[in-house]
Structure 1
Amino acid sequence: MKLTPLQKRAERRARNQSHVDMNLVALIDIFTILIFFLLSSATGVEILPSHKAVKLPYSTAEAAPHETVVVTVSAEDILVDGRVVATVDEVMAAEGDLIAPLQAELERLRTQRKVIREENEAASRAVTVMGDRQIPYRLLRKVMYTAARADFTDVSFAVIRKYEAS
């Protein structure tokens, strides 16, 4: 039986056609989630992890925060990157300004961080203190003194930015 050119073309097309069905709804869902994730993580705002018991002071600071070791001072505890290292009562009762457990934890973190480039050395010596606005200055002085003794030379304070009407 002889096929017409139209029938030959239809047969060739049927032979070359693959039967793969693609569910575009699932792909659209995946891309939507991916775009949402990329947009939410691409914001230029740095958010420091916050302890619920710490009420930060207000400031008109202009400098944006950068990623550092975070020392949180609440009314009850002193935490380094979320780990409790000392209680405020013990620290306030102790003589002198050095907080030994805080110094040990900061030195441990300092030795863990490897600095590859020399220009990043200053950033590895940075610490951010998140102190409750009600903590006494004596406690804050002890934390700063201990951070300096642990070779953290760049001490920053976390604050809530207060916007002024212009």
Structure 2
Amino acid sequence: MKRMARSRRRKTPGMNLTSLMDVFTILVFFLLTNTSSNEALEPPKVITLPDSVVESRPRETITLMVTDEEVLIEAKPVIATSEVAGSEETVIEAIKEAMLAEMDKAISLAQVNSQAQVASEAVESEVEPETAAEAGSEEETPVLPPEVNILADRTIPFSLLKKVMSSCTDAGYTKVSLAVIQKASQG
């Protein structure tokens, strides 16, 4: 009887949360590392990109979207697509002005991309990234020109895209890329 009375007085042990906390910690790190990587552009639902076989991932740049209804720069509407198509001019002033307004952001993104390129070259040549960055700063690594990625629906005529690309080039963006859907490489 005494044994039974002693066993009833003991509290039952609580649930051990150590393994549960380990799982949540791993989950948090997984989510943090995967949400910070910008390896691919996600096109909006209103744009259907053309297919292509490409080798490299896009860099982070200024994004210009051409939909059936309007032209957007960094998700801000600039001009209606019908106005661009109806214009006789090669350079559309509204697009050029909006691209010039985004030039500071484009230059800072180009600097980040050039630093990333120096770091990746250092990894390939098995040099410490800090050492490569210091060596690159001493030699004044050339800053990459500002870039723009154009996301256009596959039904947009090339004559309209040509006007958009000419406007970007006239604004000082020397690297113009068209976004496509990456297909599996053939071979």
Instruction: Give the TM-score taking structure 1 as reference length.
Output: 0.74
Unaligned segments of structure 1, at least 5 residues: 1-21
Aligned-pair CA distance for 1:33 = 3.0
**Corresponding residue pairs, total:** 143
Residue type of the alignment partner of 1:64: R
Unaligned segments of structure 2, at least 5 residues: 1-15, 112-136
Quick check: 1:102 aligned with 2:95? Answer: yes
Quick check: 1:40 aligned with 2:40? Answer: no
Cα 1:76–1:120, aligned 2, differ >3 Å: closer, same or farther? farther
Q: Partner of 1:126 in structure 2?
A: 147
| Structure exhibiting the larger radius of gyration computed from Cα positions | 1
Distance 1:68 1:31 in 2: 33
Q: Partner of 1:86 in structure 2?
A: 79
Residue type of the alignment partner of 2:63: V
CA offsets 1:13-43 (integer angstroms, 9 cap, x no match): xxxxxxxxx9646743541332221452476
> Which of 52, 56, 59 matches 1:66?
59
CA offsets 1:42-99 (integer angstroms, 9 cap, x no match): 76x7121312111111111212111000111111111111111111011112221111
Do the aligned residues in 2 keep the contact of 1:51 with 1:72 (CA within 8 Å)? no
Identity rate, percent: 27
Q: CA RMSD in A?
A: 2.6
> Which of 25, 42, 65 matches 1:31?
25
Instruction: Give the TM-score taking structure 2 as reference length.
Output: 0.66
